[in-house]
Amino acid sequence: MFLGIDLGTSGVKSVIIDDGQALVAEASSRLLEVTRAKPGWSEQDPDLWWDAVCESLDALAASHPGAMATVSGIGLSGQMYGATVLDGADKPLRPAILWNDTRSAAECEELAAAVPDLLGRVGRNPTPGVTASKLMWLRRHEPETFAAVRTVLLPKDYVRLRLSGDKASDLADSSGTMWVDLAARDWSGPMLDASGMDRAQMPRLHEGTEPTGTLRAELAQRWAWGGAR
């Protein structure tokens, strides 16, 4: 059995599929709160994501305990580009700035000017949706928060962290941050420098098919399974 978790902006959906990719069970949990304090802003508390994930997996464990007990792998998908900024204890410093937040238009222009050949490096021009411009906005408007950032994760990678303790991301998703050099398939020093970031604040990069991390023991006990990765 395999477990899939999809983190959307309005909810979390979790499914169990068998080895033939047939659907065995599914459960959903709604995310009711997206904060829009100003026009163009869109933020969400990362703890709401984790609560919704746990709610959906608790439901699957209750309705299909036999299937949950034989889960051997977990796949993650979810909303892209959101900036989840963590402190040294891996706690969110502020609500995540979501993919559909448009506040960082000025920072996009700044990034394009700072790295004139960025199109060749990262394969796209900056837009307010990307993670890099969001961190540049934080640097300008919330300098104390920016100075406290020790890790930046995309939303589904925050769920991965809560599940396993592993700070990792797949290259396909991370390419949307504008920090990945597509040819090198690695973090781009010039792009990180231009946005005031460094490699130590980034998760490890993996191909999407590579396993990362192992489910925390206390969660395996909670959902009565073993061996899930």
Give residue-wise pLDDT tens across range 115-166: 999 999 999 899 999 999 999 999 999 999 999 999 999 999 999 999 999 9
State the greatest distance between any 2 C-alpha atoms of the chain, in Å, as a whole number.
56
Q: Which domain holds residue 44?
A: 2-223
Q: Is the pLDDT of residue 206 over 80?
A: yes
Q: 36 in a domain, yes or no?
A: yes
Q: 229 in a domain, yes or no?
A: no
Q: 156 in a domain, yes or no?
A: yes
Residue labelled with tokens 């909810």 = 11
In this prediction, residue 227 carries a pLDDT of 52
Spell out the long-range contacts of 215-220 with Cβ–Cβ below 8 A and sequence spacing 24 or more: 215/74, 215/163, 215/164, 216/163, 216/164, 216/165, 219/163
CB atoms within 10 A of CB 23: 10
Taking each helix axis from N to C end, the angle separating 155-164 and 46-63, rounded to the nearest 10 degrees, works out to 60
Q: Is the pLDDT of residue 229 over 80?
A: no
Instruction: Report the mean per-residue pLDDT for the chain.
Output: 94
What is the number of domains present in the chain? Answer: 1
96 — pLDDT class (breaks 50, 70, 90): very high
Beta bridge partners of 76: 5
Q: 50 in a domain, yes or no?
A: yes
Q: 82 in a domain, yes or no?
A: yes
The conformation of residue 75, written as its DSSP 8-state character, comes to: E
Q: 84 in a domain, yes or no?
A: yes
215 — pLDDT class (breaks 50, 70, 90): very high
CATH of the domain at 79: 3.30.420.40
Q: 228 in a domain, yes or no?
A: no
